[in-house]
Structure 1
Amino acid sequence: METNRDQLAEALYQKGLALAEIESAKGEKVVETENDAKAATDSSSKLDLFEENFKELQKWVHVKSTRYGTLYIIRERRKLKVLSDMIQEDGQPPKKKFYDLKLSLLEQIGWDHLVSYEKQWMNVLFPASLPLF
């Protein structure tokens, strides 16, 4: 049974890497629609294959281990990209909660140099008090 589990985990890991590679080549998320006619018109029914695969892998193994860490980092980068796009897209002034979430994602990945850089920018974007004139 352990052999079957290890083979399943390895297959899910390889599938996740392949989906990430396809996604980076196309420049968009890999999605799958259901076969219903209704699903073709409803964009919310699309399933993100990478996330679905990653969640299945999480059920079987510890994804933060060194063996599966690459896929974990790819997932965190995807989240970070989405968050950065949300921050840049918004026509309104940036919200501090998005930057805090970005900092936590960078810390999870282990990119300490970017964490310190973003904290410096947060002092500029969100000063503790306004300067005196």
Structure 2
Amino acid sequence: MEVTRDQLAEALYQNGLALAELESLKTKVENASTLAPKDAIDAGKSEDSFEENFKELKKWVDVKTSKFGTLAVLREKRRGRLGAALKVVNDVIENDGDTPKKKLYELKLSLLEEIGWSHLVSYEKQWMHVRFPTTLPLF
């Protein structure tokens, strides 16, 4: 049963990522041209399907783990709550333990840039070189 639960959680996670990607592509198309009324209705359905998918995933797993944290961040980001998204990223990084993931730190950098905190962006970029060196020292 645990294997089935894990497979369901993974499927819901991948579905959520796909829905978020579709939504971002639709917003790019919206910016390029105006929406027809039918397309606006379809955009509303995709928002509801993302939320439904996220709520179903939340029933099965803790979404603030390192594996599912990116979906929680995307949810907060698409709701326009960048500060909450930054808090979720920080919580995921903190709870991740001793194995930092570069993808999470890059997501944190992009959120800081989007908020407009350039002083923190430069600070975090300097720490990225320390956390994830390109080459290991000789000794």
User: What TM-score do you get using the length of structure 1 for normalisation?
Assistant: 0.52
Paired residues, number: 85
Would you say the 8 A contact 1:9–1:60 is kept in 2? yes
State the secondary structure of the residue aligned to 1:48: helix
In structure 2, list runs of 5 or more residues that go unmatched: 31-41, 91-107, 118-139
CA-to-partner distance for each residue in 1:19-58, whole Å, 9 max, x for gaps? 00100000178443xxxxxxxxxxxxx9611011000000
Query: Compared with structure 1, are the counterparts of its residues 104 and 57 closer, same or farther at alpha carbon in structure 2 (3 Å cutoff)?
Result: closer
| 1:108 maps to 2:88 | yes
Q: Distance in 1 between matches of 2:47 and 2:78?
A: 15
| 1:67 maps to 2:47 | no
Tell me the amino acid that sits aligned with residue 107 of structure 1. Answer: K
Query: What residue number does 2:49 align with?
Result: 49
Query: Compared with structure 1, are the counterparts of its residues 8 and 104 closer, same or farther at alpha carbon in structure 2 (3 Å cutoff)?
Result: closer
| 1:1-133 superposed matches below 5 A | 1-27=1-27, 30-32=43-45, 48-80=48-80, 103-110=83-90, 114=112, 117=117
Query: What is the CA RMSD across the aligned residues, in angstroms?
Result: 3.1
Would you say the 8 A contact 1:30–1:50 is kept in 2? no
% identical equivalent positions: 52
In structure 1, list runs of 5 or more residues that go unmatched: 33-45, 84-101, 118-133
State the secondary structure of the residue aligned to 1:62: coil
Q: Distance in 2 between matches of 1:67 and 1:58?
A: 13
Give the CA deviation at 1:108: 3.4
User: What TM-score do you get using the length of structure 2 for normalisation?
Assistant: 0.50
Q: Distance in 1 between matches of 2:3 and 2:79?
A: 32
Q: Distance in 2 between matches of 1:57 and 1:8?
A: 8
The structure with the greater share of residues assigned to helix is 2
Q: Distance in 1 between matches of 2:52 and 2:6?
A: 19
